């Protein structure tokens, strides 16, 4: 989860835990230093201060909500189209090039 937060906010993340593991994660999500689980250790790394905001902190959940809304609208549109076609309706026939239209079969008289 800390790796996700580092990438999401474009910031260094320092996770300190007395019983789990401690870690330092860079803004790209790379774990720079880590202790073992339950290990008593000092974890050190150089971290730089950063200014500005990442695209995620600016857009936030609007990106996910917009995408979810578009997918919902697409699904609803497809459902409505199929419902209008009626029960048992088959999709429209697509004719391959050179195929005669239905009801006008080519026959050869011998």
Beta strands in the chain, from DSSP E residues, in sequence order: 13-15, 23-25, 31-34
Best CA proximity match to 32, nearest among 50, 20, 45: 45
Same domain, 72 and 43: no
**Do 1 and 48 share a structural domain?**
yes
Q: Please indicate, yes or no, whether residues 71 and 27 belong to a single structural domain of this protein.
A: no
User: Does residue 92 lie within any of the structural domains?
Assistant: no
Residues 65, 46, single domain; the answer is no
Reply yes or no on whether the pLDDT at 76 is more than 90: yes
2 plus 37 within the same structural domain: yes
Expressed as residue numbers, the domain containing 12 is: 1-52
Q: Are 9 and 25 in contact (CB under 8 A)?
A: no
Q: Using 50, 70 and 90 to split pLDDT, how confident is the model at 72?
A: very high
- 68, pLDDT greater than 90: yes
| Residue 2 forms part of a structural domain | yes
Task: Give CA–CA dist 56/58, Å, rounded.
Answer: 5
2-49 confidence digits (pLDDT tens) = 888 888 888 899 988 888 888 999 989 999 999 888 888 888 888 888
What pairing do the DSSP bridges indicate for beta strands 13-15 and 31-34?
Answer: unpaired
Q: pTM of the entire structure?
A: 0.52
Say what the pLDDT of residue 31 is: 92
Give me the chain's average pLDDT, please: 81
The answer to whether position 16 is within a domain reads yes
Asked if residue 77 and residue 46 are part of one domain, the reply reads no
Residues 67 and 44 both lie in one domain: no
DSSP labels for 47-62?
-----S--HHHHHTTH
pLDDT of residue 71: 96
Number of structural domains in the chain: 2
How far apart, in Å, are the Cα atoms of 61 and each of 12, 56, 66, 84? 21, 8, 8, 34
95 confidence band (pLDDT: 50, 70, 90) = low
**How much of the chain, in percent, has pLDDT values that exceed 90?**
18
Whether 74 and 36 map to the same domain: the answer is no
Residues 2 and 34 in one domain: yes
């Amino acid at each position: 989860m800390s790796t996700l937060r580092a990438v999401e906010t474009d910031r260094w993340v320092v996770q300190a835990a007395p019983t789990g593991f401690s870690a330092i994660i860079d803004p790209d999500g790379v774990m720079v230093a880590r202790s073992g689980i339950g290990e008593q250790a000092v974890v050190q790394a150089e971290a730089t201060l950063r200014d500005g905001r990442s695209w995620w902190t600016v857009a936030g959940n609007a990106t996910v909500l917009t995408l979810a809304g578009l997918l919902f609208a697409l699904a609803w549109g497809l459902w409505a189209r199929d419902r209008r076609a009626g029960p048992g309706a088959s999709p429209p026939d697509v004719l391959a090039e050179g195929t005669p239209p239905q009801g006008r079969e080519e026959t050869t008289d011998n």
